[in-house]
Each structure stands twice: as C-alpha cells, then as structure tokens.
Structure 1
Amino acid sequence: MQSKKKKRRGVRNRIAMISITFVVCVLLGALLYEGAALKKKVAGNEARKVAISEEIKKEEERTKEIEETKEYMQSDEYAEKVARDKLGLVKNNEIVFKEEK
C-alpha cells in the first residue's frame, strides 16, 4: 500500500514540477518578448530625441538671425535705406540724377 502511495506522490510531484517549469518558461518567454518590445521603443525614442535636438538647434539659430534682423531694423542705417529705396527721399545736400527711359 505504501509503495502505491509513494508512486502516486512521485507522479504528482513530477506533474507539479513539469507544470511549474512550463509556467516559468511561459513567464520567461513573455518577459523576453516585452523586453524586446521595450528595446525597440527605446531605440525609436533615441532617434526621435536626436531629431528633436537638431530641430531645437536649428530653431535657436533661426531665433538668433531674427534677433539680429530686429536689431538692424531698429537702426538708423535701416531707416535711411528704407527712406531712400522705398520713399525716394534724399539728404539735403545730395543731387539726384535720374535716367531717362
């Protein structure tokens, strides 16, 4: 009688160990799959980070150019140029020569 009990217990133990091993393997597979997905996502985010950094650098350069243009437009030199080119104004001591067409 005891030997049958031991056999049953041994079979149950084997089934339990196989079941536990199967569950552990499934969990390991799921972890590996999720890890690969996360690595892919991280790589995508790194590429996006680089692209955004480059875009920020370009925008900072553009902002600098705009500031320089703004300073130039507030200068007397710019005001004089606009007055000459667009309004046709001249200084008091200048003589204007125009071409005949």
Structure 2
Amino acid sequence: MFGISLIVLILILTLMAQSRDLKESLAGYETRAEALSQQIEEEQARTQEIEDLKQYMLTDEYAEQAAREKLGLVKENEIIFQEEK
C-alpha cells in the first residue's frame, strides 16, 4: 500500500512539474503572438502608406512637382529667384 501511494505521489509531482513548464511555454508563446500582431499592424500601415504614395504618384500634381524638381521646368509667367554665389 505504501509503495502504491509513493508511486501515485511521484506521478502527481511529475504532472505538476510538466504543467508548470507548459504554462511557462504558453506565456512565451502569448508574448510572441502579441509581438507578431504588432508587427502585422505596422506592416499593414506601411502597406497603406505605400499604396497612398502610389496613388499620389499617378496624379498630375506629382508629375508637375517631379518636373519642377528634377528637370527645372517652370510655368509661364513664373519668376525664378536664384541665390548669388
């Protein structure tokens, strides 16, 4: 009877130790899941910014701005001021 009680006690202690280890693993996985969720939200925001920029680049306003900056084009009757060197 004592032997059986000892074996049952050992089994219960083993199960408790494994349960504790599983809880620690679960907490680690939950932390990782939260971090990944945050990363997904950041990437979705970045994707939206890229999509907005893509839509802006299709407008005439962007084409005009690019022509002014890169090619130095100006509108009619527009005066350009330059600094003296």
TM-score normalized with structure 2 length: 0.89
In terms of Rg, which structure is larger? 1
Runs of 4+ in 1 over 4 A off after TM superposition: none
> Which residue matches 1:70?
54
- RCO (CA 8 Å, sep 6+): is it higher in 1 or 2? 2
Aligned-pair Cα RMSD in Å? 1.3
What is the identity percentage for the equivalent residue pairs of Structure 1 and Structure 2? Answer: 44
TM-score normalized with structure 1 length: 0.76
> Which residue matches 2:71?
87
> Which residue matches 2:22?
38
1:53 aligns with 2:37: yes
Q: Which runs of 5+ in 1 are unaligned?
A: 1-16
- Amino acid across the alignment from 1:70: K
Please report how far the alpha carbon of residue 75 of structure 1 lies from its aligned counterpart in structure 2 after TM superposition.
1.2
Distance 1:21 1:77, change over 3 A: same
Q: Which runs of 5+ in 2 are unaligned?
A: none
